[in-house]
Structure 1
């Protein structure tokens, strides 16, 4: 990790923002940790202004705990790795919020994760959390795979697992599929009333569906037929993303995100044999983005 040499009045803020939560880390210019905070969902495709306010609130919380005045934001170079940042309109709306930082570097959460994982060297990351997205960077050339939004993408993710679990529970309810213990539990959670499920699903966000994924994995470990079929399907989808990333020339792959650990044992060996641990997390990758922003400011 490079930091800003000779800059006692400089701070570096890294933000890793996904569909369920964001993580903030503030360091001084020499790399000393000032503090950390967390916030809510940070996909700027949905509500960029709310995400900006949440990030600023998290930054203020770090400054308050560190005994630093809130005006310190004028000394902060910020790196934002945010879900949805690949969408031009979302980036423009987010940046229009005019946050009070000295400089801002904005890119996708996948890019921040890659930068933290490999420090700029060749490799690929595959985020499997609320959503899913892969990024391979080889000799500076980016290859994105997936990540096209919850409506049409996010295969293998917590969102996809949770949404399909609800769908299949309804199949069991109306006799199109066998009733299993997982289906019973999901239906019981809504009073066995399909209308309640419809009302909930109408306003549910990706993170709401993704919160059902741990339940599915729990039942899969008990060999519940529905849960096993859901996890196996998710593993196939994630393996297809991994194949494309490795086929783009990436020599190694980092799996990341809240679902990745539970899903990894279900992936085929030709994927898991290429998996390596990340050198650092996505928040450190975002801090490296902040370093680059400071160098260009």
Structure 2
């Protein structure tokens, strides 16, 4: 059996997996649900396995190959040691390394070149590579960070809907739509918020941008505030003498018109996506691992 490399991109909304040969050519891809190991580690494990099995199936490979594969997993929530230990002990792979989802986005977007990547999705986090050294800004999680994220936008929208319901702030078509979804019952919004994960809030982000595009005042205010948070971080990155920026993630193209222009700063389109970056790292990190065939020949 060949010695496969697996890349995992596990975020707050979905988990994607790719299986490749030892040289890095992707053979199959799979997708499943959210894989934030901090907010819901048990579900993350299920979705990691489901996405990987789907990748093996698309490649026409037996799923039993998971047990001999080596993997790099870029996972949201990887900055909490207990969560990483819990996941690492239960993964189905022969060898695996858990890294930040930011690192795989950086590798996918820039390859091995220097620059900074802003990952704008359900969460927000920023990575910088300078002369081979990688550092990160943000990414502290929904409860105390992730400013400008899809989760924060969704949370802000529900807050504005409640304020409009109580007559504290003006209503708008968007707040009316949200209130109608919950039957104009604040108790229903409160119950939702009591159990909601970042991805549950994040699903409202596209509607906020759509409403802002047609001038909904609540949506415009929410997006402008979020864009200001992102601009502040980008300013801090540029102040570190970074001259190449790349915006990635599901919200990146939606934010571009709302962000400040920065003359002299190169804004690149990503070379590849985070999943491709995870595969590339898996090939790099496990390049010296022999295949089962090589191991058998050496005996």
- Could you tell me which residue of structure 1 aligns to residue 60 of structure 2? 67
8 Å Cα contact 2:151-2:198 kept in structure 1 = yes
8 Å Cα contact 2:154-2:205 kept in structure 1 = yes
- Could you tell me which residue of structure 2 aligns to residue 161 of structure 1? 153
8 Å Cα contact 2:29-2:56 kept in structure 1 = no
User: Does residue 188 of the first structure (1) align with residue 180 of the second (2)?
Assistant: yes
Superposition deviation, residue 144 in structure 1: 1.4
How far, CA to CA, are the matches of 1:272 and 1:214 in structure 2?
A: 30
User: Does residue 119 of the first structure (1) align with residue 111 of the second (2)?
Assistant: yes
8 Å Cα contact 2:37-2:77 kept in structure 1 = yes
SS at match of 1:275: strand
User: Does residue 13 of the first structure (1) align with residue 6 of the second (2)?
Assistant: yes
Write out per-residue CA displacement over residues 7-63 of structure 1, whole angstroms, 9 at most, x where no aligned residue. Answer: x82211111111101111111123333211101111111232332232122222232
Write out per-residue CA displacement over residues 146-167 of structure 1, whole angstroms, 9 at most, x where no aligned residue. Answer: 1101111110011111111111
- Could you tell me which residue of structure 1 aligns to residue 294 of structure 2? none
Superposition deviation, residue 232 in structure 1: 0.4
- Could you tell me which residue of structure 2 aligns to residue 234 of structure 1? 226
8 Å Cα contact 1:136-1:248 kept in structure 2 = no
8 Å Cα contact 2:115-2:128 kept in structure 1 = yes
- Could you tell me which residue of structure 2 aligns to residue 244 of structure 1? 236
Aligned-residue Cα RMSD (Å) equals 1.7
8 Å Cα contact 1:48-1:90 kept in structure 2 = yes
Give TM-score scaled by structure 2 length.
Answer: 0.91
User: Does residue 109 of the first structure (1) align with residue 101 of the second (2)?
Assistant: yes
Write out per-residue CA displacement over residues 150-198 of structure 1, whole angstroms, 9 at most, x where no aligned residue. Answer: 1111100111111111111111111111111111111111111111111
Give the 3 Å change call, closer, same or farther, for CA 48–133 of structure 1 in structure 2: same
- Could you tell me which residue of structure 2 aligns to residue 3 of structure 1? none
Superposition deviation, residue 242 in structure 1: 1.2
How far, CA to CA, are the matches of 2:49 and 2:285 in structure 1?
A: 18
Superposition deviation, residue 263 in structure 1: 1.1
- Could you tell me which residue of structure 2 aligns to residue 34 of structure 1? 27
Where do 1:135-174 residues align within 5 Å?
135-174=127-166
Superposition deviation, residue 75 in structure 1: 3.3
Aligned length in residues: 289
Is the deviation greater in 121-130 or in 69-78? Answer: 69-78
SS at match of 1:269: coil
8 Å Cα contact 1:123-1:137 kept in structure 2 = yes
8 Å Cα contact 2:31-2:54 kept in structure 1 = no
How far, CA to CA, are the matches of 2:39 and 2:279 in structure 1?
A: 24
SS at match of 1:64: helix
Give TM-score scaled by structure 1 length.
Answer: 0.92
* Structure 1 gaps, min length 5: 1-7
How far, CA to CA, are the matches of 1:60 and 1:272 in structure 2?
A: 45
* Structure 2 gaps, min length 5: 290-299
Is the deviation greater in 268-277 or in 172-181? Answer: 268-277
Give the 3 Å change call, closer, same or farther, for CA 186–272 of structure 1 in structure 2: farther
User: Does residue 132 of the first structure (1) align with residue 124 of the second (2)?
Assistant: yes
How far, CA to CA, are the matches of 2:174 and 2:56 in structure 1?
A: 45
Superposition deviation, residue 271 in structure 1: 7.9
